[in-house]
Chains A and B, each alone.
Chain A
Amino acid sequence: DAKTTQPNSMESNEEEPVHLPCNHSTISGTDYIHWYRQLPSQGPEYVIHGLTSNVNNRMASLAIAEDRKSSTLILHRATLRDAAVYYCIRTISNFGNEKLTFGTGTRLTIIP
């Protein structure tokens, strides 16, 4: 089961940090956690991914729990442009052909 669990929606004030949670309690040792976001009327956009260690890039940080059953996407300083649906995705290894399985995501609203 490739299921991850995210809140349906969240709100945050502009210029404040945002922490988007994700539960993936049945994750196996070789599964990666990916985050994508989708702005209105656009295709999804890669944000970040990781396996075990916390990861940082220019867009965000990914904090992965020690037991890997949950993770948190951190946007350090939200802007209006960050308003989007954020998808937490677990890639299930299938003979090397790992595929993305999208859920319904978290709709993030940024309040000016």
Chain B
Amino acid sequence: NAGVTQTPKFQVLKTGQSMTLQCAQDMNHNSMYWYRQDPGMGLRLIYYSASEGTTDKGEVPNGYNVSRLNKREFSLRLESAAPSQTSVYFCASSVMTGPYEQYFGPGTRLTVT
């Protein structure tokens, strides 16, 4: 039981390049989330998916798109990376939205030069 897995662990992009961060969970959870964490800051919600087939914006969605591919997988895409998107990205899942425990992945450290 791997929990929440994320790929890649590290990535360096040039400004304007695109990439997709992958996230998968094996806990049969309905809800999945993408957060970013800038140095010395707390996490901020980018997008979330309450259930398969639905996605909604969080606090900082600009510059990102998401796809809930199936119940297990939730990807985050940067279409044209900018230095302001340099951050650590965490994926999380929970049985459903609401006051339920969220399980976090190990994170992807992204640097945009």
Contacts and interface: CB of A to CB of B under 8 A. Distances in A.
Interface of A: 32, 34, 36, 41-46, 49, 51, 87, 91, 96-105
A104 B99 contact: no
A102 B43 contact: yes
What does DSSP make chain A's interface, helix, strand, loop or mixed? loop
B48 A44 contact: no
B61 interface: no
Contacts of B42: 87, 102-105
Contacts of B50: 97
A80 B41 CA distance: 23
Contacts of B107: 41-43
Given A102-B42, A102-B43, A97 B101 contact: no
A46 B43 contact: no
Contact of B56 (A43, A46, A51, A97): A97
26 contacts: A32-B99, A36-B102, A41-B107, A43-B92, A43-B104, A43-B105, A43-B107, A44-B43, A44-B102, A44-B104, A45-B104, A46-B101, A46-B102, A46-B103, A49-B101, A51-B99, A87-B42, A91-B99, A96-B98, A97-B56, A98-B98, A99-B58, A100-B43, A101-B59, A104-B42, A105-B42
Interface in B23-60: 33, 35, 40-45, 48, 50, 56, 58-59
A101 B40 CA distance: 15
B10 to A, nearest CB: 12
A91 B44 CA distance: 13
